[in-house]
A and B are shown apart, each in its own frame.
Chain A
Amino acid sequence: DGGITQSPKYLFRKEGQNVTLSCEQNLNHDAMYWYRQDPGQGLRLIYYSQIVNDFQKGDIAEGYSVSREKKESFPLTVTSAQKNPTAFYLCASSIGSGTGRSNQPQHFGDGTRLSIL
C-alpha cells in the first residue's frame, strides 16, 4: 500500500554487522508489525507494536531488535546474533488493537530483501 514505505529495497550484511531496516507509515495507524518470509514459506512474526514506546516479541524475535519512538516509524535491527538473516522482510500496519479494533486488516509495505555478503 502506498502509505507504508520500506527502505532500502535491497540490503547486504557483512559478518558481525548490525543492519537496520526502515519502515514508515503515514496512515495514522497505531499498530505496526515486522514479518520475515523465507523462500517458499509463509510469513513469520518477528515483533509487533500496538502503541508508541511499546512493543512485543513475536514468534522469531531472537537476533532482532526494534524501537517505536514515533507513531509513524518502526525500524527493525538485524543483529549479528541472527545467524541466518537472508530473507524477505515485510513491515505491516493496522488501525490498532484493543477492544473493538483488534480485527482490522494488516496492510504491507513492499519489503526489504536482505542478503549476506
Chain B
Amino acid sequence: GENVEQHPSTLSVQEGDSAVIKCTYSDSASNYFPWYKQELGKRPQLIIDIRSNVGEKKDQRIAVTLNKTAKHFSLHITETQPEDSAVYFCAARGGGADGLTFGKGTHLIIQP
C-alpha cells in the first residue's frame, strides 16, 4: 500500500516569512495529492490539491509543487500570517485505491 512521509513535524517561522512543508510517497501510481489544514479540535479543511498531470498549482499565498520522478510534493505558504498557525497534513491517493493515505502532520507556528 501507499506510505506518506511528512517533514518537519514542527515548523516555526516569523510572521511574514515563507513556510515549506515536504512530503514523499511510495506508490508511483499515486495520482492525487491534497493538503489539509486542521485547527485544534476541528475538522481538516482542504486548502489545495494537485493531480499527477500537473507540476505546480498556486492559489494566492499557497502553492503546491509535485515531482513525480522523485515522488515528493511540497506545500509553500508565503507572507505567513498568525491565522496560518495550525497543523497541516499532506495526503496521497494510491493507485487503485479510493481512500487517502495521510502524512503525520506538521505543526506550523507563526511567531509574531
A105 engages B100 (CB within 8 Å): no
A103 touching B93, Cβ below 8 Å: yes
A74 touches B (CB below 8 Å): no
Contact B43 A43 (CB under 8 A): no
Contact pattern, A 82-117, Cβ under 8 Å of B = 1, otherwise 0: 000000001000000100001101111111000000
Closest to A6 in B: B43
Interface of B: prevailing SS:
strand
Number of contacting residues on B, CB 8 A? 24
CB closest chain-A residue, reference B34: A105
> Closest B-chain residue to A33, C-beta based?
B99
A1 to chain B, nearest CB (A): 8
Is the pair B46, A106 in contact by a Cβ cutoff of 8 Å?
Answer: yes
Q: Which residue of B is nearest A43, CB measured? A: B102
Which listed residue, B1, B51, B99, B105, touches A103 by the CB 8 Å rule? B51
Q: Is the CB of B31 within 8 A of A105?
A: no
Q: Which of B31, B44, B101, B103 contacts A45 (CB 8 A)?
A: B101
Residues of B within 8 A of A111 (CB): 42-43
The answer, yes or no, to whether A16 is at the interface (CB within 8 Å) is: no
Q: Are B105 and A40 in contact (CB under 8 A)?
A: yes
CB–CB B1/A90 < 8 A = no
Q: Chain A residues with Cβ under 8 A from B98's Cβ?
A: 31, 33, 48, 50, 56, 97, 102
Q: Contact between B42 and A110 (Cβ–Cβ < 8 Å)? A: yes
Chain B positions 5 through 16: 1 when the CB is less than 8 Å from some CB of chain A, otherwise 0: 010000000000
Task: Show 21 residue pairs from A and B whose CB-CB distance is below 8 angstroms, ordered by the A residue.
Answer: A31-B98, A42-B4, A42-B89, A43-B100, A44-B102, A45-B100, A45-B101, A50-B98, A56-B98, A59-B99, A59-B101, A102-B98, A103-B31, A103-B93, A105-B34, A105-B49, A106-B46, A106-B100, A108-B44, A110-B42, A111-B42
Seen from chain B, the residues whose Cβ lies within 8 Å of a Cβ on chain A are 1, 4, 6, 31-32, 34, 42-46, 49, 51, 89, 91, 93, 98-105
